[in-house]
Amino acid sequence: MKPEDIKRLEAYLRRTLNPGISLVSRPRVNDSVEVALNGEHIAVCYLVDDEGETSYQLQMTILTEDLMDM
């Protein structure tokens, strides 16, 4: 992703989900970024370009053991 796209996406996620969110570029990969909340990796956000339409897909995996702490 281009740096300006990452900044715009990060601002949107901070405004919409949580101000503690930050996006981190992934080495050798230009179609996605890592999503962190207060420094902890929580998801990956993919750039999707389908027939000239651009969108972003947020993929978050929640492990069962993480739910046990609740």
- Average pLDDT in the 13-19 region? 97
Q: In the prediction, which pLDDT does 46 show?
A: 97
DSSP 8-class letter at 30: S
> How many structural domains comprise the chain?
1
- Is the pLDDT at 70 greater than 80? The verdict is no
20 backbone dihedrals φ, ψ, rounded to 5°: -85, 0
The whole domain housing 8 covers 3-67
Radius of gyration of the chain (CA): 13
Phi, psi (rounded to 5 degrees) for 38: 50, 40
* pLDDT at residue 14 tops 90: yes
